[in-house]
Structure 1
Amino acid sequence: MRKTKRKRINQNKVTVILSFLFMLTVGSCILLSSSIFKVKQIDVKGNKECTKQEIINDLGFCLDKNIFRNKTGDIKDKLMENSYIDKVEITRKLPDKLIVNIKERKPIALLRNNGKNCLIDDKGNFLKKVVDLDENKDKVVVDVDYYINKEKKIGFKNEHHGKRLFYLLECLKKSNVYKQIDKVDLMEKEDILIVSRNKVKILLSDNDRLDYNVSRLNSILVDLQNKNISNGTINLSYDKCAIYTPE
């Protein structure tokens, strides 16, 4: 009797498991084949530099495809081909929507070298080549001898200039001077030449006191602006004093 009961219990367990697997298989088939779950919408969040339509166009292969058949890894790989995109998160919202949340790289400077122009972010990542400079008047223009390799990475003929560039941009940001700067010239061997948006020239020594000298620059530019003074040259290449020379 006991053996018979155990046998019946085991048979019941097997039946339950098989029924569950059958229902799971049928349910999966329905989910993967039903038109209800075909992607109809792509919601883009976090974009500023990239347009929503640009991202949707890149993900055209997702539309009218079952939401469960759209692999998030494939979507991320496609979007990461865009140099402006740093990170991507994909969320499925049933029955037919994909939510794309992106984190963009922010352009910080426009590099210029003999008519070749490109935008970079604060980590030196190449963003895009630029033809029309007027569309990027809000960016600091940097004259420096640079190149773009086959992997679309930025390189500098003088590696020291590359390192000083990113340190200088960091100092300008930290000292709240960045928005007042129009151009930076790193073509010279010793001094760094900066031109403000008020056409004031600034000379900085390319040494370890760069951070200190840039920190003094904000108050000097504000003082000149309050006095309605434009043009001229501020020489910060001396250790302890700043010299202004009018034109």
Structure 2
Amino acid sequence: MVNTTEMKKKKLIAGNWKMNGSLVANEALLQALLQGIGAPACDVAVCVPAPYLAQVQSLVDGTSIAVGAQDVSAQPQGAFTGEQSAAMLKDFGVRYVIVGHSERRQYHGETDELVAAKTAAALANGLTPIVCIGETLAQREAGQTEEVVKRQLAAVIHVNGHCISEIVVAYEPVWAIGTGKTAAPDQAQAVHALLRAQLHHAANEHAAGIRILYGGSMNASNAAELLAQPDIDGGLIGGASLKAPDFLQIIAAAR
């Protein structure tokens, strides 16, 4: 019999394509990934722009790569032009959805409360939210990292405490996203341990099974060292997820 606890604790490598891709480029990238992925030791997902969900789902259906979306509405349906509901995403075979990415918080004014509501919408429809939290450079330099990340996670726990064990958390220091800068492994581990302790307070024995990903410029050269840290359970990968050799190398490091 399969040990479901072990299955749940498998590392997760999720690619965030952001606003990149085309029909031709997507197919070439996914074909290269599928040719090289073999039988990965970790779970793998690609979070793609909404227009490409149908294409990507058709290309990876029945494979070891799951489909993720990059955002979801907190509303179930209605007059919300430009939005997509969790039920719609589920209709397209989506398994994961990124919630509260720093770019959404920065450019679209998403608050901690909205992120918590989007998390609830995803969970209510059987999707796994990848909840992003992280501090800016100014906040880190002011010594506010702990305060910021705990506040952001607390908002999600407050609304979703009854099923918090079903989320994935992604720690993404804003100063390390797309900049080439990366938190040192011990810096990242320290924040992950802090978040684990906060989750333990909310989820007790289930906290150990909640995956906490690192998402600040993880790439092929630094993935192994970051993934070796005790509380880093995978990665949310930006630019490197658009390069098949790099993404495959990160997947191979996630054991």
Q: Which has the higher strand share?
A: 1
TM-score past 0.5 threshold: no
TM class by smaller structure: under 0.3
Q: Which has the higher helix share?
A: 2
Higher relative contact order (CA 8 A, sep 6+): 2
Structure showing greater radius of gyration is 1
TM-score, structure 2 normalization: 0.20
